[in-house]
A = this chain, B = another copy of it.
Amino acid sequence: MIQIAVLGYGTVGSGVVEVINTNHESINKRVGQEVNIKYVLDLRDFPGDPVEKVLVHDYEIIINDPEVDIVVEVMGGVEPAYTFTKRALQAGKSVCTSNKELVARHGLELLKIAEEKNINYMFEASCGGGIPIIRPLHSSLTADEIDEISGILNGTTNYILSKMQAENADFEEVLKEAQEKGYAERNPEADVEGYDACRKIAILSSLAFGNHVNYEEIYTEGITKITVEDMKYASALDMSIKLLATSKKENDKFYAMVSPVLVGTDSPLYSVNDVFNAIFVHGNVLGDAMFYGSGAGKLPTASAVVGDVVDCAKHLHENVMTSWNSEKLDLMDIKEVVHPFLVRIKGKEAEMADAVKAVFGAVKTVSVPDVEGEFAIITGPLSEAEYEAKAAKLPEIISRIRFKA
């Protein structure tokens, strides 16, 4: 019998318990023996919930029980998750987690401990919820050198953007609705400012490129400044605006960034709507691939966590989830990164033509019938520095959005 302990009985934790109970038979068959939840750790009590029978409030009970083989850390946040995980690994217990904050911050160190102890630290659920992406990157795309990984990695912002575009609705209005539906948290900062996507792309890039990407070095821009007018331009161009977390190799250099971008119908990311997530990967021999599914939610996330539990159970004392290199991946200065831009400009197109041409050269223009008093231009590929230098010369600029490179 494989004994597991679940740390945290919140959304994901209760999902893990539910998945293991629901699919008990097939999970045990795949593992080759019974998987049993011996403990659930939570500070709260849950009177009347069957979890009461295994509920403990003290981590010491779990860490000191030699029968516990696998610890499922689904508490979220850095502490005490970090301390609990480290102690579990040091005690020879494998750990499975959905905690992207912890993996982005301390994943490298925790993976090294797992390697030394010949056990595993697994985190499939930390990026893309239920979508299998960590294991495919690690075990399937091994013939390739990956030169791009880009994802719609945050369901909340994708829901908001999809809704804004489909209904010509305001950011604030849709955010409020998302909060009411439980799709967005009361403090939505981590989602709408792109911090959540930033942590996830740091993890994915580290795995895809093999060297450590520090999430604090990734340029991150959220969606709070996206307006109904931006959406109208996007629709006029037959494109959609997505909060994209990208890392890409260009001329042997790497860049990583999170920002809203315009995506065209030629990209499979174009039609990823609502709370769905998708991760696009380009390999030098594979070409394009995309992994799509539920990026969040109790059961999809728990599905990924329990998939890791099965893998850990099948490899109890064998390290199969190898780490990335501790060498840091040097990221390009964001100022050097090149995109075409959609630039919205105040005034009448005819009257502004010369001023625009003087700054940006000959460019295509876009106007949308019901967005008055302004028009937009589509620049050629410009570095951020070039764009900023040009934009400084044209005070009539309202805003700019990048096109997906």
Q: Which residues of A contact B (CB under 8 A)?
A: 18-20, 22-23, 26-27, 30, 124, 130-132, 135-136, 139-145, 265, 268, 270-272, 276, 283-294, 297, 299-300, 302-307, 309-311
Contact = CB atoms under 8 A, between A and B. Distances in A.
Q: Is the interface of A mostly helix, strand, loop or mixed?
A: mixed
Contacts of A286: 130, 293-294, 299-300, 303-304
26 contacts: A23-B144, A23-B285, A27-B143, A124-B140, A130-B286, A130-B287, A132-B136, A132-B141, A136-B136, A139-B311, A140-B307, A141-B303, A142-B306, A142-B310, A143-B305, A143-B310, A268-B276, A271-B271, A276-B288, A283-B303, A285-B300, A287-B297, A287-B300, A288-B294, A291-B292, A292-B292
Nearest to A270: B271
Nearest to A310: B142
Contacts of A144: 23, 303, 307
Contacts of A307: 140-144
Contact of A289 (B130, B288, B297): B130
Contacts of A265: 271
A30 B142 CA distance: 7
A309 B140 CA distance: 10
Contacts of A135: 135-136, 139-140
Given A141-B307, A143-B302, 13 more contacts: A23-B284, A30-B142, A130-B286, A130-B289, A135-B139, A142-B311, A143-B309, A271-B271, A286-B304, A288-B292, A289-B292, A290-B293, A291-B292
A163 B153 CA distance: 32
B143 A136 contact: no
Given A132-B136, A290-B292, A291-B291, A143 B285 contact: no
B294 A287 contact: yes
A242 to B, nearest CB: 14
A179 to B, nearest CB: 22
Contacts of A19: 143, 285
Given A30-B142, A140-B136, A293 B303 contact: no
A370 to B, nearest CB: 24
Given A143-B19, A143-B27, A299 B285 contact: yes
A54 B118 CA distance: 39
Nearest to A294: B287
Contacts of A270: 271
A303 B291 contact: no
A302 B288 contact: no
Nearest to A139: B135
Query: Which of A130, A142, A276, A287 counts the most chain B CB atoms within 10 A?
Result: A142
Contacts of A294: 286-289
A249 to B, nearest CB: 13
Contacts of A305: 143
A74 to B, nearest CB: 14
A308 to B, nearest CB: 9
Nearest to A265: B271
Nearest to A298: B285
A268 to B, nearest CB: 6
A157 B210 CA distance: 37
Contacts of A284: 22-23
A11 to B, nearest CB: 14
Nearest to A306: B143
A22 B147 CA distance: 14
Nearest to A27: B143
Contact of A287 (B143, B290, B293): B293
